[in-house]
A and B are shown apart, each in its own frame.
Chain A
Amino acid sequence: MTAKTINLTLKVWRQGRGEPIGRLETCRAENISKDMSFLEMIDVVNEQLTKDHQEPIAFDHDCREGICGMCGAVVNGRPHGHERETTLCQLHMRHFSDGDTIVIEPWRARAFPVIKDLVVDRSALDQIIQAGGYISVNTGGAPDANSLPIPKDTADAAFVPAACIGCGACVAACPNASAMLFVGAKVSQLSLLPQGRPEAAKRVSSMVRKMDELGFGNCSNETECEAECPKGISIIQIARMNREFFKARFS
């Protein structure tokens, strides 16, 4: 029977608040249960660091069930680790072996400055949403059900990009640090539904302009984003955004 616990060597990016650059520091993760999630493993390491009067590793997390988009770090060169379609909180330690060395780095992009250790400022994604990732509705009485008929397949098609949790793994995975998959997903989700059509042209133009302004890179169709997206969102959404963009600009 295989052991239920493993011992690991972690190389974690440590960067203090306000420090322009950090460094990889080595620490041990002892007696880690294979049933733990990656974040729980860091919790255990942090307990030990605290007991040893050392600064615990700062990392982002919230729901720990893969739906909030808060957690995320680059584990051995792969955003959210090497498992497909999982967030870091859904990555379990059973996917690692005893004695492994794990390198943990924050998302790296000019638009995502490091706040501390593994925590990055992803408010750039919020700014893109603020630029047009919404629909404008005057409040009033709740409309009757089915007063706006939407075929089931259209609703399903819109739900695919709507699964985006805004974690930023696409930016982290992109060799050019481009946010095209994120913006593509948000543009697609709204453009597919009748409520999103009236503002579709204005939306795609201003969201793309904002994305460029914030210093994200350009998409060169490397397709690393779709391979790393924890929600399995495909670059088909980027193609749809491009069509929406051309429609908006050339008409």
Chain B
Amino acid sequence: MSWFYDTIRTSIGKKLLMALTGLCFCLFLIIHLIGNLTLYGGQELFESYVKHLHALGPLIRVAETGLLTLAIIHVSTGCFLVWQNWMARPVRYQVNKNAGGRTIGSWTMPYTGFIILIFVAIHLSNFHFIDHDRQTVFQAMTATFTFLPYVIFYTLAVVVVAVHVSHGFWSLFQTLGANHPKYMPAIRGLGILFSLLVAAGFGFIPAFVGFIMN
């Protein structure tokens, strides 16, 4: 397996790790969003979704372990890359100007990534690591989304996720070598569309729960 280790420790190898784990998180976001869309169908539909999801039992444990592993790889590789990139330019420029290549998504990747990590920790402690015998996920959610500071935090965090994805999505295709003049504009467009869908799909949940459901 030394060839494998040799490959992933190169700069392209680390890029590949970020791209593949990032791709998995994009797929996870889609699944998570589809699940959460049941909320817009009312309490009954959402609770039925939660019940069916939890009925998967061991499969859920496997998925959770998988996601945790992906997160560890994505975060640790990301931290290592940020450190290496910082070290690669010991004396910074006195004047910095962009030529138009960078986007808000691309230059904020490490910062949005850090915010997402904190958000995920809080998000899990609110909805996942709760006593499911004493309250349902729906009850926990309605309780949380009546607390205004958290609603603001949640909405902003979702926007941060969308900004992260706006660069990450097309970037992973570039890393995997899928850059072709015919398809790249479509991939870039799809990335923007996907991040807008994520922002809108998740972002309106607190408002929907807070104002329409109650």
Contact = CB atoms under 8 A, between A and B. Distances in A.
B38 interface: no
Interface in A192-251: 208-209, 211-212, 215-228, 235-236, 238-243, 245-246, 249-250
A222 B95 CA distance: 18
A67 interface: no
B175 A78 contact: no
A103 B135 CA distance: 63
A103 B174 contact: no
B11 A208 contact: yes
A173 B14 CA distance: 21
How many of chain B's residues touch chain A, expressed as a range?
35 or more
Given A216-B88, A246-B177, A224 B101 contact: yes
Interface string B77-89: 0000100110111
Contact of A228 (B15, B99, B171, B181): B99
Contact of B177 (A13, A111, A239): A239
Interface string A71-95: 0001011100010000000000000
Contacts of B10: 208-209, 212, 245
B88 A211 contact: no
Interface in A163-197: 173, 175-178, 180
B1 to A, nearest CB: 13
A110 interface: yes
Contacts of A227: 99-101
Interface in B103-157: 106-107, 109
Given A108-B91, A111-B88, A220-B109, A246 B16 contact: yes
A24 B91 contact: no
A178 B101 contact: no
Contacts of B102: 175, 222-224
A51 B11 CA distance: 49
A82 B10 CA distance: 33
Contacts of B3: 249
Interface size class of A (residues with CB under 8 A): 35 or more
B189 to A, nearest CB: 16
B177 A242 contact: yes
Contacts of A178: 11, 85, 88
Contacts of A105: 93-95
Nearest to B91: A108
Contacts of B107: 175, 222
Contact of B84 (A78, A217, A249): A217
A41 interface: no
B41 to A, nearest CB: 38
B85 A224 contact: no
Given A76-B97, A227-B101, A218 B92 contact: no
A223 B101 contact: yes
A242 B11 contact: no
Given A77-B95, A226-B101, A239 B179 contact: yes
Query: Which of B11, B84, B100, B179 counts the most chain A CB atoms within 10 A?
Result: B11
A250 B99 contact: no
A242 B89 contact: no
B13 to A, nearest CB: 8
A224 B174 CA distance: 14
Interface string A17-40: 000010010000000000000000
B176 interface: yes
Contacts of B106: 220-223
9 contacts: A175-B85, A215-B87, A218-B15, A220-B85, A220-B109, A224-B102, A236-B184, A238-B179, A240-B177
List of 5 A-B pairs having minimum Cβ-Cβ separation, nearest first: A77-B97, A217-B88, A239-B179, A243-B177, A227-B99
Given A13-B94, A74-B95, A217-B88, 20 more contacts: A77-B95, A105-B94, A109-B88, A173-B101, A175-B107, A176-B88, A177-B89, A178-B88, A212-B10, A216-B88, A217-B85, A217-B89, A218-B85, A218-B88, A219-B11, A221-B174, A222-B107, A224-B101, A227-B101, A245-B10
Interface of B: 3, 6-7, 10-16, 81, 84-85, 87-102, 106-107, 109, 167, 170-171, 174-181, 184
